[in-house]
Structure 1
């Protein structure tokens, strides 16, 4: 079976991480897998090495001065679509709105649903939900949103987690010491400064926490995005100044350094306002780090009693500063280990075979 997985970027965003891990797991099951993506900013490879059993196709995508977000997304669709050839594959599986629009007839994984105010982007989002021939969601909560919004019935296949990688990082004393010496004790958030990640709420919570834990630093890692969050970042900076919060913003962290950064964290903050699964939080659980998550139905579904949920800034602060719960830590380990990429790949192969029979 010749499978094409398509994603929109080579950078370390959640959907891209998912695509590469799934591709490698499919290849371990004997599938012939090719990953397609746009090479933004001159990239000719992904943010990490990819198993050579997976074929990689990077389509050049040059930056244009003065291009707004909407035009860049529409051009992304055109460039990727012009390069891709359907006839080379038995299964075409798009992992996001851009690639689903680019290739047309496909299977689509809907990680989460977005809301766009620009008519052209709203139309792209709509097409990427309704036009695929079949849909996968990584959680039942997102599948329910699709069912309620469009009357469609996606199949739920949860994410896998590279649990062993983050468990090993927890035992890497030298790598963890480097972060401890540089950062001290810290609250970690992964995903950059953006509305969907609840970055402003984390600043508000940290300001309350700092009253009793002034030694506990606030650290952000990651942040690659297609969207323009300058106004949100300006509000973030303004509020940090007002509250006296001095976060350390690391930007994109090298893939081989991220597990030890996560493993050394005192607590992992996962205050997203919208998620499909929560892979970064699951990786933190694998590393034995307590997680504080926003109280969302999808996160209740995925994490159950393995994390601490909070809704208000005060609740968030209290949870971030709470002592480590050994029983919860063990539940987190067990939950992360239960999510295997090989299991996810087998479920995808079954789905592909059924889809091929029905087509």
Structure 2
């Protein structure tokens, strides 16, 4: 199959990590895979090296000073649509709402559902659910949300995890004891709740630091970040905000953490938390149906800052890493890629415009 996987960025966000890993696993299985994305801010490549068997098509997308979020969304869609060549592929698979809006027909992975207030983004989100001809979710919980909200049946194909990359990472004791969160400071990541929880934690554990990594995003969270910084000052705490961390440096940062905090208010699977489990780090996460589904008895769950602080203390007291490592080892990108192959072939539409008979897959672009 000639497969195009579409993303919206070259930066290390969860959906982009998923896209690259899936593309490499499909190429390993012998598929002809091209990843299309926007090269934001002058990027000519992804945040990490990509297997040379995967073709890359990175569409230039220069920054425009003063551009609003809505304007950026619309320009992203238009630029990717103008560059993309749908007739070159048997399967077009969009991994986010921007890329799903940039093509006329596609398979769509819905990683998680959001509620947006920016009109352009809200419309983009809705179209990217109802227009694709086939849907995948990375958890049964999100698939149930899609069914309840839109009456759409989505296949469930969980993420894979690069288990060995995190399981073999060296712990670095000189980093000290810290609670780690990955994903930056933004509403969906529950950053304000995490801050409140940390302020409660350090009353009993004054030597434990809060470290926050990541934060590459398309959206403008400056107002939220300002609120977060103001609240940190009021609480008298000083978290370490690292910003984006180099791909090669992330495993050691994760493996050296005492606890991995995952207070997200919306998730589709929880890949970053699963990577922490692979590294042998205890995970404290928000009590969401999707995270109960994925992590079961392996993670600790909380709903309030006080609850998170309590679970952080319990995790700091020690935990057996074996169940978490065992769970993370179950999810492989090879298995995910094989399920995608089966899914693609099951969605043949031989009588659709541009389609073929004799079992060949139609051109869904």
TM-score above 0.5, yes or no: yes
SS of structure 2 residue aligned to 1:59: strand
**Does 2:186 correspond to 1:194?**
yes
Listed as ranges, the matches of 1:72-83 within 5 Å are 72-83=72-83
Query: Which residue is 1:111 aligned to?
Result: 111
Distance in structure 2 (CA, Å) of the matches to 1:121 and 1:162: 31
**Does 2:201 correspond to 1:209?**
yes
Segments of structure 2 that go 5 or more residues without pairing to the other structure are 353-365
Count matched residues: 349
More helix by share: 1
Deviation of 1:331 after TM superposition, in Å, equals 1.3
Per-residue CA shift, 1:9-44, capped at 9, x if unaligned? Answer: 000000000000000000011000000000000000
Deviation of 1:356 after TM superposition, in Å, equals 2.1
Distance in structure 2 (CA, Å) of the matches to 1:86 and 1:357: 16
SS of structure 2 residue aligned to 1:37: strand
Distance in structure 1 (CA, Å) of the matches to 2:349 and 2:222: 48
**Does 2:350 correspond to 1:325?**
no
Per-residue CA shift, 1:311-343, capped at 9, x if unaligned? Answer: 1211100111212221xx221111100001000
**Does 2:37 correspond to 1:37?**
yes
**Does 2:250 correspond to 1:254?**
no
SS of structure 1 residue aligned to 2:260: strand
Distance in structure 2 (CA, Å) of the matches to 1:79 and 1:255: 28
Deviation of 1:357 after TM superposition, in Å, equals 5.3
Maintained 8 Å contact 2:73/2:120: no
Distance in structure 1 (CA, Å) of the matches to 2:240 and 2:118: 33
SS of structure 1 residue aligned to 2:243: coil
How high is the TM-score relative to the length of structure 1?
A: 0.96
Deviation of 1:120 after TM superposition, in Å, equals 2.4
How high is the TM-score relative to the length of structure 2?
A: 0.94
Q: 1:241 aligns with which of 233, 237, 240?
A: 233
Instruction: Give the ranges of 4+ consecutive aligned residues of structure 1 lying more than 3 Å apart after TM superposition.
Output: none
Query: Which residue is 2:291 aligned to?
Result: 299
Query: Which residue is 2:23 aligned to?
Result: 23
**Does 2:105 correspond to 1:98?**
no
Query: Which residue is 1:11 aligned to?
Result: 11
